[in-house]
Structure 1
Amino acid sequence: MVAWIVLIASGILEAVWATALGKAEGFTKLWPTVIFGVALLASMGGLAFAMRDISTGTAYAVWVGIGAALTVAYAMAFGGDGFSLVKVLLILGLVGCVVGLKLVDSH
């Protein structure tokens, strides 16, 4: 259970570093670059920790799915990406697949 909590937190941090990377403008802005580096290290460290108890394929897919879904949602809400019902449905489908992977890995 701890591995899953750490994996989810690491997926959230993936969205943080991906968003910070975009705001760093080629590493020319200090604070987004610092946030990127710290979140990247913490996210990768958490993924590595979780992979001790969760299979590599499942852990990686869940980590990427959480990060991608949150990054797209954040960009739609705050980053100027256009909102569309199709994007929301696709994100929900992605989240559903991530939950499915967790359920399959539990058995």
Structure 2
Amino acid sequence: MNWILLVVGGLFETGFAISLGKAQHTSGKEMWLWLLSFIVCVSISMYLLFKAMGGETAIPVGTAYAVWGAIGAIGTVIAGILLFKEPVTFWRMFFLTTLIISVIGLQTVSSSA
């Protein structure tokens, strides 16, 4: 269950990064709505990270934070490509892939510990 909380928290981290990006490109009421979205997403994301690191099946803080951050980073890169027309280059995809492999590796070694 804690891993599910952590993954969902990482997705909300992507949400708060997207919200900030959208707020940068808007003004007035729309900007304030994106900033409200940021506050909601960051609050939910942090709470889920907190919950994932507690309880009987707690995820160690180092692993939880690294995985949470990586999920947010992966989601933000993908969202940047899809929503903000950021470039898709070989090296961006290469390092994104190595990040995904690292997250899977952290989950695997943390589950068996």
TM-score (norm 1): 0.93
- Name which of 27, 30, 51 aligns with 2:53: 51
Shift of 1:23: 1.6
AA in 1 matched with 2:51: F
Q: What does residue range 22-61 of structure 1 map to in structure 2 within 5 Å?
A: 22-25=21-24, 29-52=31-54, 53-61=58-66
Given that 1:27 and 1:33 are in contact with CA atoms closer than 8 Å, whether structure 2 keeps it comes out as no
Q: Does 1:102 align with 2:101?
A: no
Match of 2:5 in 1: 6
| Higher Rg of the two aligned structures | 2
Given that 1:62 and 1:101 are in contact with CA atoms closer than 8 Å, whether structure 2 keeps it comes out as yes
Shift of 1:80: 2.0
**3-state SS of the aligned residue for 2:9?**
helix
- Name which of 60, 70, 91 aligns with 2:96: 91
Could you list the structure 1 runs, at least 4 aligned residues long, displaced by more than 2 angstroms after superposition. Answer: 25-28
Match of 1:19 in 2: 18
Given that 1:6 and 1:50 are in contact with CA atoms closer than 8 Å, whether structure 2 keeps it comes out as yes
Q: How many residues align?
A: 106
AA in 2 matched with 1:98: V
How many percent of aligned residue pairs carry the same amino acid? 34
Distance 2:100 2:11 in 1: 13
**3-state SS of the aligned residue for 1:24?**
helix
Deviation string 1:16-57 (CA, Å, 9 cap, x unpaired) is 101101222299512111110100000000000001110000
Shift of 1:83: 1.1
Distance 2:25 2:65 in 1: 26
What 5-or-longer segments of structure 2 have no aligned partner? none
In terms of mean alpha carbon deviation, does 74-83 or 19-28 score higher?
19-28
What 5-or-longer segments of structure 1 have no aligned partner? none
TM-score (norm 2): 0.88
